[in-house]
Amino acid sequence: MRQEDLAPPTPRPGPRRRSVFAAAALAGVCLTAAGCADDGPGPGAGPASASAPASPSAGASSVKPPPRGPLSGRTVVIDPGHNPGNRDHTREINSKVDIGTGRKECDTTGTATESGYAEALFTLDVSRRLRALLEERGARVVLTQDDDRPFGPCVDERARIGNEARADAVVSVHADGSATGNRGFHVILPAVVDGSGADTAEIVAPSRELGERIAGNFVRVTGSAPSNYIGGGTGLDTRDDLGGLNLSTVPKVFVECGNMRDPADAALLTSGSWRQKAALGIADGVSSYLKR
């Protein structure tokens, strides 16, 4: 995401946050000892070919039926943040949509490393790795986009795809664009929102549990620390200004895997082997949540 999209909201009363290291105790045992793949597409490389679309909503993409496994019968929607084509469709992505607490741009172009590795390429790569890991465990996986559409989808459609899929869990994959020196990952959770067609009351608690389990496993698998600039060291942040969360009727979180504008974090995010670890940490967190 762009830095301005991720400015911390005004603190509000809410459930007491458990530390990520406490969350790690909840995370459970890794279900698959999947190793790290060789480095995939590097900075500046185009994304891999897209899967054939088969979706519950226009623009969603899924793949062949998964094998039987511990997640059989479960549906996970993966939402790769932004779209490589957004930069060529500024008029369309700047159009405003209802996000439940107001109106906001359809989408953004996302951020990039100093060397030009785009967030949109990062999110697609991690999402495809995550899809493979979850499908190995038997889950049905739907992507909101797989570089198979010219731009978007808009944030309201991203939420709708998860809702229409009746997903057991939705994970939106991102990377931050903050200042140099700001490091680490964080997981964004939905706040209580009620009004203008949005009602998150039923998903706040399960989304928090999903986020805690992802955060704990992300620490364990990647070795990355929670954000030193958002979340007060918990690796968790609650927001009410993101349409993808406000409009969701199923458990959903955003994972900001690191800060693309910090050189040390950027070195991780541009490494294919680290991206595999990031996907595995998220997959283990999702699996732990679904098997609870």
Phi, psi of 53 (to 5 degrees): -70, 140
Q: What does each C-alpha distance from 275 to 60, 129, 148, 280 come to in angstroms?
A: 23, 8, 22, 9
Q: Residue by residue, what is the 3-state secondary structure of 34-94?
A: CCCCCCCCCCCCCCCCCCCCCCCCCCCEECCCCCCCCCCCCEEEEEECCCHHHHHCHHHHH
Catalytic residue among 135, 157, 212, 256: 256
Question: Residue 170: helix, strand or coil by DSSP?
Answer: strand
Active site residue 135: no
Q: Show the tokens assigned to 143.
A: 């992507």
Strand duo 198-199 + 194-195: pairing:
antiparallel
**290/169 Cα distance (integer angstroms):** 8
Cite the active site residues: 256
